[in-house]
Amino acid sequence: MLSALSPLDGRYAKNVEALQSHFSEQALIRARLEVEIRYFIALGAESGVRQLPKLKAAQERSLLQLVERFGERDAKEVKQIEQRTNHDVKAVEYFLRKKLGRIASLKKHAEFVHFGLTSEDVNNLAYGLMIHGALRTVIQPALRAVHADLQRLAKRWERVQMLSMTHGQPATPTTLGKEFQVFADRLQRQMAQLKSFKMQGKFGGAVGNYAAVKIAYPDVQWEAFGRKFVRSLGLTPLTHTTQINPHDDLAELSHLIHRIDTILLDFSRDAWLYISRGIFRQRVKKGEVGSSTMPHKVNPIDFENAEGNLGVANALFAHFAEKLPISRLQRDLSDSTVQRNIGMAFGYHLLALTSLRKGVKKLELNRRRVHEELEEHPEIMAEAIQILLRKHGVPHAYERLKAFTRGQAVTIEQLHTFIKTLPLPGAEKQRLLQSL
């Protein structure tokens, strides 16, 4: 959409459309409706709430179908109600009350919709459902795909020796496969934590102590009821809260995704540098243009796009982690407008993963350049040689190699000659010479 304010809804809409069913306004309304309906059903199942009888199976199905069939038309109806109420959660309540009138014998029980709840009881549980759904069906599969790409290339290039660089300078030999495996391992560790992550759920009324419902039904074990209800939604119940979920769960998730993004940003920059060094060529797609003025250019734009979008995502996730756990006294509303941007953060995260995979698939190993770099820097064998000298008790081993190599342009021939002068057993010398 050319008039979209955000590129996620315009230029990149197709790349992130999988998240629309989890983080759009319609998705939020639908999740709120689900929480309200499941709470209404749970209230009916509580024997101590005598005025609301246990719902029949057909009644439950009819209510749950409101969630399953919830669409744009329903969302627009809720938004029309909100124009009158100027309250988004209350609009969902009124929408559900209206729907109860069409289900046998439930109209007379409409007062039990949103019974004893505060808006945040519904909101935080709704966000929990939305985030769990997005992680399970979109984010984790996308990360698994990136991890699989890294693992595949690590395996393919596990025997490819290359020049390593520390401080941007030639260091020692390494293997390209190992360097890719480093990122695969780092990513896997964070993915394991993400897999076990669970959102928390706050439930308990205006300030989290069930005060109002305890007056109405003092014999009901409301704390136990609340814990059971939150668990039924797949969330971890909070025991002591103010009016709101303190958002420590969102802070934990934000820090976790931030770490994942930082790892992938690190990889994006390394891939960019390998391309710059000529270690990789990039597959050319017919018809594409690399530069508007330099026809020869094949730019690493996918890794640059990934780096940029990971940065935007992390700026948002960092703000969530810093802002959301702070609320004045029992509640202020500053978290509400911030939470609405969770989908945007995950959108930039997903967009970056898409760019990263696109870039990885274009990589073609330039074996000639890999070999040339090693040949251009035979001095990188200095570390191994001085360690071998130490093994055989040769004094001042490090200093010998330092005097010969530091800041020097050493050739293969010079290194061969140097090795032959070393006080080492013949077999050790031969092994060194064969390794060059």
* CA–CA distance, 225 with 237 (Å, rounded to integer): 11
Exactly one of 6, 105, 291, 336 is catalytic; which is it? 291
**Residues in the chain where the model's pLDDT stays below 70:** none
The type of residue at 101 is: G
pLDDT at 194: 98
What CATH number does residue 186 fall under? Answer: 1.20.200.10
Domain contains 228: no
State phi, psi for 363 to the nearest 5 degrees: -70, 130
* CA–CA distance, 194 with 258 (Å, rounded to integer): 12
Residue 291 a catalytic site member? yes
Distances (CA, A) of 152 to 156, 264, 361: 6, 16, 11
> What is the gyration radius of the CA atoms in the chain, in angstroms?
30
| The pair of three-digit structure tokens given for residue 357, joined into one six-digit string | 């995979």
Residue the block writes with tokens 């025991």: 239
The last residue of one of the domains, among 68, 88, 117, is: 117
pLDDT per residue as tens digits for the range 336-386: 999 999 999 999 999 999 999 999 999 999 999 999 999 999 999 999 999
pLDDT per residue as tens digits for the range 213-248: 999 999 999 999 999 999 999 999 999 999 999 999
* Domain hosting residue 313, numbered range: 123-215+233-284+296-367
Residues 99 and 79 both lie in one domain: yes
Residues 110 and 137 both lie in one domain: no
Residues 275 and 132 both lie in one domain: yes
Per the structure, the count of domains in the chain is 3
pLDDT at 393: 94
pLDDT at 40: 98
The last residue of one of the domains, among 342, 367, 392, is: 367
Residues 80 and 139 both lie in one domain: no
* CA–CA distance, 46 with 41 (Å, rounded to integer): 9
* CA–CA distance, 8 with 17 (Å, rounded to integer): 9
Residues 302 and 321 both lie in one domain: yes
Exactly one of 167, 196, 240, 296 is catalytic; which is it? 167
384-392: list long-range contacts, CB under 8 Å, 24+ apart.
384/172, 384/432, 384/435, 385/419, 385/422, 385/432, 388/424, 388/428, 388/432, 389/422, 389/423, 389/424, 392/423, 392/424, 392/425, 392/428
